Amino acid sequence: MEYITRASELFPPKEGDMEGKCIICGRFTTKGNKIDFSDNFTNWHLLEEGEVICEQCYNMVRDQNHRRKSWVATREGIEFLKRDQFIPIMLNPPEPPFVIYFTKSGKKQGFLKLIDKVNYSKNKFWVAYEDDLIFVEFPSLF
C-alpha cells in the first residue's frame, strides 16, 4: 500500500506546466498551475510561501464543491455528504486512508487545514468543520 501524506493526493491531479513550490502543501513540482484565487479568498494565512499550486492540490482547492459541500475523501474517490450523514460517518469512518470535511455555510476553505492530516486510524482521526480542526479519539474497548 502506498502511503499518502497529504489530503490532496486523494483528489484527481491537474497537471500544469509551471515549476515551483506549492503554496498549499509546500512541495516542489515541475507540473504546477497558476495561483488564481479570487479577490474574495480570505485564508492566505493557511498557505505556504510558493509560486504555484501543484498538480495534486489544484483540484482540491479549485473545485468549488470541495468548499461548498461536506465530503469524505478515500482512495476510491470523493463522496459528498448530507448533514444527516455527519454522525454516522464519524461513528463509522471509512477504511484508511481518509480525510473528512464538514461545512455548514459552504463559505469557508477549512479543508485547507487538512492538507497534512491524512487519517490512518478509525479510532483516532482528524476532521475539519468549517475553520475548526477537530481531533476525534474513541476509547479502546480492550
Q: How many domains does the chain have?
A: 1
* Domain assignment present for 121: yes
Residue 26 lies in a domain: yes
Which domain covers residue 62, as residue numbers?
A: 7-137
| Domain membership flag for residue 142 | no
Classify residue 2: in a domain, yes or no. no
Write down the pTM of the prediction. Answer: 0.88
Residue 73 is inside which H or E element, if any?
strand 70-74
Reported as a pLDDT band with limits 50, 70 and 90, residue 102 is very high
63 found inside a domain:
yes
17 occurs within a structural domain: yes
pLDDT score for 2: 59
Residue 1 lies in a domain: no
Q: What Å distances lie between residue 121 and 78, 81, 100, 138, CA to CA?
A: 18, 20, 13, 10
| 103 part of a folded domain | yes
Report pLDDT digits (tens) over 69-92: 999 999 999 999 999 999 999 999
What percent of the chain has pLDDT above 90?
Answer: 61
Q: How far apart are CA 51 and CA 71, in angstroms?
A: 28
